[in-house]
């Protein structure tokens, strides 16, 4: 008598958890994801898996970037390079399928699906070349193939490991015309996504992070990293207990642990702080994501695929819960509190320090021929013309200093400088970095800015620019890049090393521990 194998599937009475996996995690740690993450969580939750396109070594050579390149190539008359790119993608995905899947039936079907997707894509690109046009819509359809291929593999790998998984494509999910990307649209999407997931019944859905043709095109309006938003909206639609963003780091740290030895993992962080850190530090979560789940009072947990037992970092919707008592069920403040979500905001020190490097500082000194409003208008319209994003700005009536990314703006900088010369003298400082101290509680801490700058001065770090917004959640300064690591270390030692005491009661994997601070 053959033994029936255990089957992992979703049980309708359990709470929903949405798990998002990025391209490099799928590329490198799919086995972990299947065995140690999904199989574990499905024991206590209904799991929804949302995947981005596969990356091999890194995002630069990842599937999405290659698809974007294929689209560009198809527009070059006579070029056949795009066919080569698609062939390479086909071979890569087939190779992974062969390597990961044992069951011959599952493998056969998967290979067939991958081949069909790639053949269709080739025809699409051939047609685009003939009419020599790729609209933003078509470009969206092209990149969407990346998530499809990735999810087909993930679903098949799960099936091969006894998880009753279902591939779910969201490419046709939008069945109405929308004018703009507003909340009405997001609410509609959340509902549609949840409905798609529910159609899977007991099966574990593996959902494409690509969710169709949005108003104004996905790449331009939402941008790269749209899978995060997809996972967030799915979580909202389902009223999930938690949205999990799985990465290859343990969570958000008090400083970059590769550069600051004493950096600690942050257990709980507010969305405002997380946004600041995401913006200045490495790309952690797509910015729109945060807003959507926080409105619905759903916590986001950032976790490590290489260390699934770790608690990760929870981005906790404190304001949304505390400000108005009218939080929507099932995530009312009371329910959250009963489930052990608790964040003590009495901590009296900053939350984290972060560095953004590879910057230049552009100084413009007015020639005083125009009054100051004209001066600013001219500067900003010039930046706007070249699509330059300023990371940090500091001004007086006759002088503007701006820090901007050196790499992203390399091509346009000489021309920008040339144009700005009409309003005044322009000089450029290279190899600069922004150091930001971030903390929700800093506004209650008189003297924190003073301490920050005294600390930097005592380490011999010269400050080029200073900025602190009215929210006081972030105090930033520009320093030389060569001093960045020293600066981050002294700031961390002096202002962030006061140890918080973490009390972590035994919890099921999806429950958050309370954080107590001295
Ligand atoms: N694969 C897409 C990108 O690289 C979407 C995502 O990763 O969320 O932007
Ligand atoms: Mg991403």
State if residue 146 touches ligand 1 by the CB under 6 angstroms criterion. yes
How many CB atoms sit inside 10 A of residue 500's CB?
16
CA distance 281 to 255: 9
CB-based burial of residue 449 (10 Å sphere; 0-12 exposed, 13-18 middle, 19+ buried)?
Answer: middle
Residues pairing with 393 in the sheet: 402
Q: Is residue 386 part of a domain?
A: yes
Ligand 1 atom closest to the Cα of residue 23 is: 7
pLDDT for res 295: 86
Q: HSE on the CB side for 369, CA within 13 Å? A: 7
pLDDT for res 184: 95
Contact 465, 478 (CB under 8 A): yes
* Count of domains observed in the chain: 2
State if residue 21 touches ligand 1 by the CB under 6 angstroms criterion. no
Q: Is residue 334 part of a domain?
A: no
Asked if residue 360 and residue 242 are part of one domain, the reply reads no
Q: For 255, which DSSP code?
A: S
Q: Is residue 277 part of a domain?
A: no
Q: Single out the residue of 275, 310, 258, 313 nearest to residue 485, CA to CA.
A: 258
Count of helices and strands (H, E) across the chain: 17, 14
Asked if residue 361 and residue 232 are part of one domain, the reply reads no
Q: Is residue 398 part of a domain?
A: yes
Asked if residue 214 and residue 358 are part of one domain, the reply reads no
Q: Which of 221, 247, 273 delimits the end of a domain?
A: 247
CATH number for the domain spanning 487: value is 3.30.2130.10
Asked if residue 240 and residue 359 are part of one domain, the reply reads no
Q: For 19, which DSSP code?
A: E
Asked if residue 23 and residue 151 are part of one domain, the reply reads yes
CA distance 209 to 168: 10
382-415: buried (b, 16+ CB within 10 Å) or exposed (e) per residue? Answer: bbeeeebebbbebeeeeebbbbbbbeebeeebee
- Nearest residue (by CA) to ligand 1, atom 6, is 225
C-alpha R_g of the chain:
25
How many CB atoms sit inside 10 A of residue 64's CB?
27
How many CB atoms sit inside 10 A of residue 419's CB?
18
Q: Which of 205, 226, 247 delimits the end of a domain?
A: 247
Asked if residue 233 and residue 119 are part of one domain, the reply reads yes
In the reported structure, the alpha carbon of residue 53 is separated from the centroid of ligand 1 by a whole-number distance in angstroms of 6
Ligand 1 atom closest to the Cα of residue 63 is: 1
- Boundaries of domain holding 114: 16-247
Q: Is residue 407 part of a domain?
A: yes
Q: Which residues contact 334 (CB under 8 A, 6 or more apart)?
A: none
Residue 458: which H helix or E strand, with range? helix 448-458
State if residue 289 touches ligand 1 by the CB under 6 angstroms criterion. no
pLDDT tens-digit profile, the chain (518 residues): 555 666 899 999 999 999 999 999 999 999 999 999 999 999 999 999 999 999 987 767 899 999 999 999 999 999 999 999 999 999 999 999 999 999 999 999 999 999 999 999 999 999 999 999 999 999 999 999 999 999 999 999 999 999 999 999 999 999 988 888 899 999 999 999 999 999 999 999 999 999 998 988 898 889 899 999 999 999 999 999 999 999 999 999 999 988 999 999 988 888 888 888 876 555 568 878 888 998 898 999 999 999 999 999 998 765 444 333 444 333 444 555 555 555 444 556 788 999 999 999 999 998 876 666 788 889 999 999 998 989 899 988 788 999 999 887 888 999 999 999 988 999 999 999 999 999 887 877 778 888 899 999 999 999 999 988 766 788 999 999 999 999 999 999 998 875 433 222 222 333 333 332 22
For 216, the 3-state DSSP assignment is coil
Handedness of CA 16, 17, 18, 21 (dihedral sign): negative
CA distance 358 to 407: 7
Start-to-end Cα distance in the chain: 61
CA distance 458 to 453: 9
| Ligand 1 pocket mutation, candidates 59, 148, 227, criterion most atoms within 8 A of CB | 227
Residues pairing with 208 in the sheet: 51
Residue with tokens 């300064």: 477
Residue 129: which H helix or E strand, with range? helix 104-131
Asked if residue 356 and residue 214 are part of one domain, the reply reads no
- What is the DSSP track for 167-206? EE--TT---S--SS-SHHHHHHHHHHHHHHHHTTTTSEEE
pLDDT for res 386: 92
State if residue 28 touches ligand 1 by the CB under 6 angstroms criterion. no
CATH number for the domain spanning 176: value is 3.40.1160.10
Asked if residue 81 and residue 214 are part of one domain, the reply reads yes
In the reported structure, the alpha carbon of residue 115 is separated from the centroid of ligand 1 by a whole-number distance in angstroms of 22
Residue with tokens 């309370």: 514
Asked if residue 356 and residue 234 are part of one domain, the reply reads no
Q: Is residue 263 part of a domain?
A: no
What tokens were used for 508?
A: 């099921």
State if residue 227 touches ligand 1 by the CB under 6 angstroms criterion. yes
Asked if residue 360 and residue 233 are part of one domain, the reply reads no
Q: Is residue 6 part of a domain?
A: no
CA distance 470 to 479: 22
- Nearest residue (by CA) to ligand 1, atom 8, is 225
Q: Which of 229, 247, 265 delimits the end of a domain?
A: 247
In the reported structure, the alpha carbon of residue 243 is separated from the centroid of ligand 1 by a whole-number distance in angstroms of 17
- Nearest residue (by CA) to ligand 1, atom 5, is 225
pLDDT for res 188: 97
Q: Is residue 296 part of a domain?
A: no
């Amino acid at each position: 008598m053959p033994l029936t194998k255990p089957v992992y599937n979703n049980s309708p009475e359990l709470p929903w958890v949405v798990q998002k996996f990025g391209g490099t995690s799928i590329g490198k740690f799919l086995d972990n994801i299947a065995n140690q993450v999904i199989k574990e969580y499905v024991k206590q939750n209904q799991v929804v898996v949302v995947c981005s396109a596969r990356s091999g070594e890194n995002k630069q050579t990842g599937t999405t970037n290659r698809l974007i390149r294929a689209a560009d190539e198809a527009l070059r008359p006579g070029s056949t390079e795009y066919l080569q790119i698609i062939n390479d993608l086909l071979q890569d995905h087939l190779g992974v399928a062969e390597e990961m899947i044992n069951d011959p039936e599952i493998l056969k079907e998967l290979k067939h699906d991958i081949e069909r997707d790639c053949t269709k894509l080739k025809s699409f690109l051939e047609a685009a070349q003939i009419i020599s046009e790729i609209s933003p819509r078509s470009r969206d359809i092209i990149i969407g193939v990346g998530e499809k291929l990735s999810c087909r593999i993930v679903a098949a790998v799960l099936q091969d490991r006894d998880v009753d998984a279902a591939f779910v494509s969201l490419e046709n999910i939008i069945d109405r015309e929308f004018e703009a990307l507003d909340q009405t649209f997001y609410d509609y999407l959340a509902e549609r996504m949840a409905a798609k997931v529910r159609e899977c019944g007991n099966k574990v859905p593996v959902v494409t992070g690509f969710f169709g043709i949005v108003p104004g095109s996905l790449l331009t309006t939402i941008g790269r990293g749209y899978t995060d938003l997809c996972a967030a909206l799915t979580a909202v639609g389902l009223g999930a207990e938690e949205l999990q963003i799985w990465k290859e780091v343990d969570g958000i740290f008090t400083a970059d642990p590769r550069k600051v030895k004493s950096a600690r993992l942050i257990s709980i962080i507010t969305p405002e702080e997380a946004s600041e850190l995401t913006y200045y530090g490495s790309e952690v979560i797509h910015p729109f994501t945060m807003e959507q789940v926080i409105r619905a009072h759903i916590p986001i947990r950032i976790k490590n695929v290489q260390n699934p037992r770790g608690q990760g970092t929870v981005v906790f919707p404190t304001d949304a819960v505390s400000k108005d008592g009218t939080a929507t069920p099932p995530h009312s403040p009371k329910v959250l509190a009963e489930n052990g979500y608790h964040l003590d905001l009495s901590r009296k020190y900053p939350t984290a320090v972060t560095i953004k490097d590879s910057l230049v500082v552009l100084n413009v000194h007015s020639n005083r021929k125009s009054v100051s409003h004209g001066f600013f208008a001219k500067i900003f319209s010039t930046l706007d013309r070249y699509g330059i994003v300023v990371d940090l700005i500091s001004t007086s009536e006759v002088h503007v200093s701006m820090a901007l990314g050196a790499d992203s703006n390399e091509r346009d900088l000489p021309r920008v400088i040339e144009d700005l010369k009409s309003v005044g003298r322009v000089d450029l400082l290279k190899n600069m970095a922004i150091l930001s101290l971030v903390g929700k509680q800093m506004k209650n801490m008189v003297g924190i800015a003073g301490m920050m700058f005294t600390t930097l001065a005592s380490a011999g770090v010269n400050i080029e620019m200073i900025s602190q917004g009215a929210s006081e959640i972030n105090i930033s300064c520009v320093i030389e890049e060569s001093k960045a690591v020293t600066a981050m270390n002294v700031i961390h030692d002096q202002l962030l090393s006061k140890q918080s005491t973490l009390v972590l009661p035994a919890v099921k994997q999806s429950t958050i521990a309370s954080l107590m601070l001295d």
